[in-house]
Amino acid sequence: MGGPSRTHRALRYTLGVNHPSILLGTSSFTASGWEGAFYPKGMRSADYLAFYAEHFHTVEVDSTFYGCPSARTVNNWAARTPEGFIFSVKVPQVITHERVLADCDADLKEFLDTMNILGPKLGPIVFQFPFFNRSIFCDRHEFLDRLVPFLTKLPEAHRFAIEIRNRNWLDVEFANLLRDHKIALVLQDRSFMPSPAELKFDPITADWTYIRWLGDLQAIEEQTTTWDKTVVDRTTELSGWVDFCYQIKKRGVLIYAYANNHYAGHAPATIKQFRKLWQAKGLPELGRPQKMRQESSLFPD
């Protein structure tokens, strides 16, 4: 999956960057309604990523799910962000949804080689699997028969995370499998998946973890499809996540956490609320990107 010198170089640089123990960001850095609500009116879209990186340490790139980007695109991402910024990327759906890990070595190699252009800015690489019905896998054991040989081929130089949407497959056996391969289990806050508190096992399967605040897509789209403001009050849920993250942080676990617009209506505001709740509990200050603009006009209370 790419030349060894390249992947080991990426690993050394990535681990050498001094990051805060909780890296907060959003799922993608553009959305309908963000101009004027997050980005200043009139700002060129070409300047969005650089502006975003002044406010967040990391971004989850959603576009890679739909296909491997060009080398030029990835080079532009790297050029428009400061040292220490982290891109988490989704594996293309041809691997997770269409071929479901079968006969996709070439696709994965192309993707990893392209993502390696990011060098030290490449963070977690996420396999986001769909819900599998019995027409695809009779049970979780059949899925694991496909998954285990695939995991053994992944290069150790990268950080991989796995998200599954069959809630009954989440058990200690699955967690231990990920732990054996040093792969993070994606923790989700969404309508049909269990929270970490509901799981009967330790959900931390590596020395880092990956959180996605996703919400209820169908329900929120009945209220809005313009993501310029909060429309769902998530104070209770986020307060619980603050407590959870603090406990995980105390264990020395690095946390990557991303808010989706579908969680509350406006992802940047969700991250701001998480920070406020964290501060209100008197917890140690969360790090911020060094170059920051004043947030007062961007995030009205």
Alpha-carbon separation of residue 255 from 20, 49, 90, 158, 162 (angstroms) = 9, 22, 17, 16, 15
Q: Which domains does the chain have, with CATH numbers?
A: 4-280 (3.20.20.410)
CA angle 215, 235, 268 (to 5 degrees): 65
Identity at 63, one-letter amino acid code: S
Rounded to the nearest angstrom, the gap between the alpha carbon of residue 72 and the centroid of all alpha carbons in its chain is: 23
Place 288 in a pLDDT band, splitting at 50, 70 and 90: confident
- For residue range 133-171, what is the model confidence (pLDDT) as tens digits? 999 999 999 999 999 999 999 999 999 999 999 999 999
Tokens of 140: 């979780």
| Predicted pLDDT of residue 290 | 67
Between helices 235-250 and 267-280, what is the axis angle to 10°? 60
Tokens of 57: 């340490």
- For residue range 42-97, what is the model confidence (pLDDT) as tens digits? 999 999 999 999 999 999 999 999 999 999 999 999 999 999 999 999 999 999 99
Identity at 248, one-letter amino acid code: I
Q: Structure pTM?
A: 0.90
- For residue range 15-28, what is the model confidence (pLDDT) as tens digits? 445 678 999 999 99
Measuring CA to CA, which residue among 76, 175, 61 is closest to residue 118?
76
Place 201 in a pLDDT band, splitting at 50, 70 and 90: very high
